[in-house]
Structure 1
Amino acid sequence: MAFQCQRDCYMKVFVTSVVSCCPAELKQEVNGKKETLKGFDVILQDTVLFPEGGGQPDDRGLIGEAPVLKVTRQGPDAVHFVTSPVEVGQEVRVKVDWERRFDHMQQHSGQHLITALADSMFGYKTTSWDLGRHRSTIELDTPSVKAAQLQELEEAVNEKIRAHIPVNVQLLSLNDPAVEKVRSRGLPEDHAGPIRVVDIDGIDANMCCGTHVKNLSHLQVIKLLGTEKGKKNKTNLIFLAGNRVLKYAEKSYSTERSLVSLLKTGPDEHVQAVDKLQKSFKLLQKTNLSLLRDTAVFIAQNFMNNPERGNFFSLHKKEGDNEFMNIIANEINTEEILVFLTVGEEKGPGLFLLAGPSGQVTELGPQILELLQGKGAGKNGRFQGKANSLAKREEVEALLRQHCKHHSS
């Protein structure tokens, strides 16, 4: 059967009755964590909320005051998941989240138009598509699409939009001869009722259960952002339709204004300015590394030249890396002297290195690891790793000084 959302894609509010309401669970991902929500599966006499299908995500909306979190199709029925129950038999007001729905209509009809013209102009068949949250992708059965073809295709789809060509929906029976002339990737196994065909007048006729605009002019504009390498010998074409193009332009302009403020140059010089900054940054990095290496050698030699030095050396430096610490350790006679080095924030995360007589390092390494809440490993008189917190650095130093006193007495 065709639902009310398929008979009239522009209807935003619909009154119908509740057929059933059963306890159910919904598995979903929130901020990267999987959660299971307890709620109810509701079947209505009819619905303006589109169930997931045809590459189009499901609608969101309300049944009465209850938010609908998922709509799926099961045979001839649309099943709505809500967190609070609704009374069976009662009349309810069903309202669709129109902004989400109209966005899906624009992207879906846009895909049909691009698919039809990519085929008729270049013979590139569509093998699948994805309606993403911010941008959509059409998988074309070709290893590549030339830049000139992309431009020609974009001009052609927008010309059809300007021609305000109507988009009609037909319902055909399975044995209708017209079905054979319709583009299709096949019907689902549990399909019930007549076949729904979305017909862009004179351009494309395609079996589809999704919601669509009734005229190509409602797409406003289509922007082809470019292509990416797809699966074997296929190309992914990335596009925006309608309001997404306006949002993309608004976001791009906001970014451009921010860059004007940061770079102190006009938009046309942004790439050149960033390139110049990157080169300056690489040069500074190189100079900084050279200075750090020189500093490491100086620190170690200064310690070794001190006649009053003992058998323990400790140092913490905010700036530095593993190479900096290892240079210091290499310059000090660690066969006789125990060396403890750290770099990073004083109370925050950082890096550490323990170097010295092999037996002492093997014994003390795991103790240091525990105090610094870190991860690390050691061999040949070196134990080093990452510290989650350097807050207990003084405790580590006290432990090592005590150990050195014990060994020297």
Structure 2
Amino acid sequence: MSFMCQKNSYMREFNSKVKSCKPASTTILEDGKKTKVKGYEVILEDTILFPEGGGQVNNIPVLKITRSWEDAVHFLPSEIPEGTEVSMKVDWQRRFDHMQQHTAQHLITAIVDHKFGYQTTSWNLGTDIMTIELGTPSLSSSQMTEVEETVNECIRKQLTVIPTLYPDKDDPELQKFRGLGLPADHVGSVRVVTIDGIDSALCCGTHISNLSHIQAIKLLGTEKIRKTNTNLLVLAGNRLLRYAGRSFDREKQLAAILKGPAEKQCELAEKAVKGMKNFQKVCNAQLKELAALEVSLFKQANSKDTVFIKHRKDGDNDYISVLLSELADESLPKLITVGEDKEGGMFVVAGPAQLVKDLGPRICELFEGKGAPNKGNMFRGKASKLTNRAAADKMMRECVSNTHGGGDSGEGTAAEATVDKP
């Protein structure tokens, strides 16, 4: 069977009648996640809605469209009784995009095949960049340029794209046309799409009627896959226009950030990254020196504290490691935190094994974090928030006090100075 969407892909509205409607469930993709939903499988006498396309039936959004033998099955969230007259509306922006990309794929596939003998093994519509998998381990830059120039010349010639129906799927004439063969459950006529003077291929999809409607094609590059094949990255039609617009917007933003024109942005960005890496090295070295100094001040303090508690919002793993290394005393209870209070960061609880076992999970919970013991005398974790540092400080001191039967509260000592200092 040939649907109205295949006879006239440009039709945006159409009326038909419900042949059947039955309860069903299906899986749809929402925000990148598969979700199982309940609804109804609705089969119409004819349709302008095509699988993978969008649209509405009686203003009800169609969640999914699939083909089953000679029928198109529309999955709807609401019931429409059998015999009901319905009106359909196509999601035109999505439909026209698919028409542009699909016809561009046919054109590119034909040109690559004719010029170099590389077969298309599959293709992916994508959302921004279309990919065409070619049966060759590589496509040279000169070959890619030749293909791009040829397909755009075809577009400028405004070649027509014509669908033709062959009533008998066993017609020997069909053997002349390019294609991967018919589905095992195919019923009815066979559709052949012809780009005038370029290619004829078996295809049931929606297409534009003239190559000029593609506007232009840009081949971005290639990706090698499975050692034997190559993915060709393609921008066509309105996607190419949107991509060019976004690229120009980014170029303007980078010009302001890097203080230079587009032709120098790569050079300026490389220079900025190199400078940042050098600056980071200096900062890391100073942070390590600072950690060593803080431990030295703790050890030299006149009033010795029973715990070592330190927070630094600009600290990192190296800072923590230097503190632990310089302290050296595994019997000393320690709580070290780094990062922003509201944005979270990292923390370490270290000291006697039993104290770490008792306090580690509890402090981790205070920080709404995730962590685990490390070597028995240390608990490391990532904190979602560090706003409860005062409560963690108190918890550790109380635990130490209960364990040792008293001890200095630590108020005013060097170890409790958790406010960052330069």
Alignment TM class, shorter chain as reference: over 0.9
**2:260 corresponds to which residue?**
265
Name the count of aligned residue pairs. Answer: 403
**1:316 corresponds to which residue?**
311
Task: Pick one of 108, 112, 121 that aligns with 1:114.
Answer: 108
Secondary structure at the residue paired with 1:276? helix
Task: Pick one of 282, 285, 291 that aligns with 2:280.
Answer: 285
Q: Are 1:155 and 2:149 an aligned pair?
A: yes
**1:243 corresponds to which residue?**
238
Secondary structure at the residue paired with 2:17? strand
Spell out, residue by residue over 1:99-154, the C-alpha distance to the aligned partner (whole angstroms, 9 max, x if none): 11111111111111100110111111111111111121110000000011101100
Spell out, residue by residue over 1:298-322, the C-alpha distance to the aligned partner (whole angstroms, 9 max, x if none): 0001111123223322111111112
Percent of residue pairs bearing the same amino acid type: 45
**1:55 corresponds to which residue?**
none
Residues 246-395 of structure 1: matches in 2 within 5 Å?
Answer: 246-374=241-369, 375-379=371-375, 381-395=377-391
8 Å contact from structure 2 (residues 28, 64) kept in 1: no
Please tell me the root mean square deviation across aligned C-alpha atoms, in Å.
1.9
Instruction: Name the CA shift for 1:6/1:335 in 2 (closer, same or farther; >3 Å).
Output: closer
Instruction: Name the CA shift for 1:295/1:204 in 2 (closer, same or farther; >3 Å).
Output: same
Unaligned runs of 5+ in 1: 53-57
Secondary structure at the residue paired with 2:79? coil
Spell out, residue by residue over 1:302-350, the C-alpha distance to the aligned partner (whole angstroms, 9 max, x if none): 1111232233221111111122122112222424432221111234422
8 Å contact from structure 1 (residues 17, 91) kept in 2: yes
Q: Distance in 2 between matches of 1:373 and 1:10?
A: 55
Amino acid at match of 1:385: G
Instruction: Name the CA shift for 1:273/1:153 in 2 (closer, same or farther; >3 Å).
Output: same
Instruction: Name the CA shift for 1:61/1:370 in 2 (closer, same or farther; >3 Å).
Output: closer
User: Following TM superposition, by how much is the alpha carbon of 1:408 offset from its aligned partner in structure 2, in angstroms?
Assistant: 6.5
Q: Distance in 2 between matches of 1:156 and 1:150?
A: 10
Spell out, residue by residue over 1:347-368, the C-alpha distance to the aligned partner (whole angstroms, 9 max, x if none): 4422122233444434433433
Q: Distance in 1 between matches of 2:375 and 2:93?
A: 61
**2:27 corresponds to which residue?**
27
User: Following TM superposition, by how much is the alpha carbon of 1:24 offset from its aligned partner in structure 2, in angstroms?
Assistant: 2.3
8 Å contact from structure 1 (residues 376, 386) kept in 2: no
Instruction: Name the CA shift for 1:239/1:297 in 2 (closer, same or farther; >3 Å).
Output: same
Amino acid at match of 1:12: R
Q: Distance in 1 between matches of 2:84 and 2:251?
A: 53
Q: Are 1:134 and 2:128 an aligned pair?
A: yes
Unaligned runs of 5+ in 2: 407-422
Deviates more, 1:111-120 or 1:368-377: 368-377
8 Å contact from structure 1 (residues 18, 89) kept in 2: yes
**2:57 corresponds to which residue?**
63
Instruction: Name the CA shift for 1:327/1:73 in 2 (closer, same or farther; >3 Å).
Output: same
**2:42 corresponds to which residue?**
42
**2:13 corresponds to which residue?**
13
Q: Distance in 1 between matches of 2:365 and 2:179?
A: 63
Deviates more, 1:149-158 or 1:385-394: 385-394
Q: Distance in 2 between matches of 1:105 and 1:391?
A: 54
Instruction: Name the CA shift for 1:213/1:314 in 2 (closer, same or farther; >3 Å).
Output: same
Q: State TM-score, norm by structure 1.
A: 0.93
8 Å contact from structure 1 (residues 343, 352) kept in 2: yes
Q: Distance in 2 between matches of 1:384 and 1:175?
A: 69
Q: Distance in 1 between matches of 2:41 and 2:279?
A: 61
Amino acid at match of 1:265: G
Q: Distance in 2 between matches of 1:295 and 1:103?
A: 58
User: Following TM superposition, by how much is the alpha carbon of 1:370 offset from its aligned partner in structure 2, in angstroms?
Assistant: 3.5
**1:105 corresponds to which residue?**
99
Q: Distance in 2 between matches of 1:333 and 1:169?
A: 80
Q: Distance in 1 between matches of 2:399 and 2:170?
A: 90
Q: Distance in 1 between matches of 2:40 and 2:400?
A: 68
Q: Distance in 2 between matches of 1:247 and 1:99?
A: 13
Secondary structure at the residue paired with 1:309? coil
Amino acid at match of 1:133: T
Secondary structure at the residue paired with 2:320? helix
8 Å contact from structure 2 (residues 28, 63) kept in 1: no
Secondary structure at the residue paired with 2:374? strand
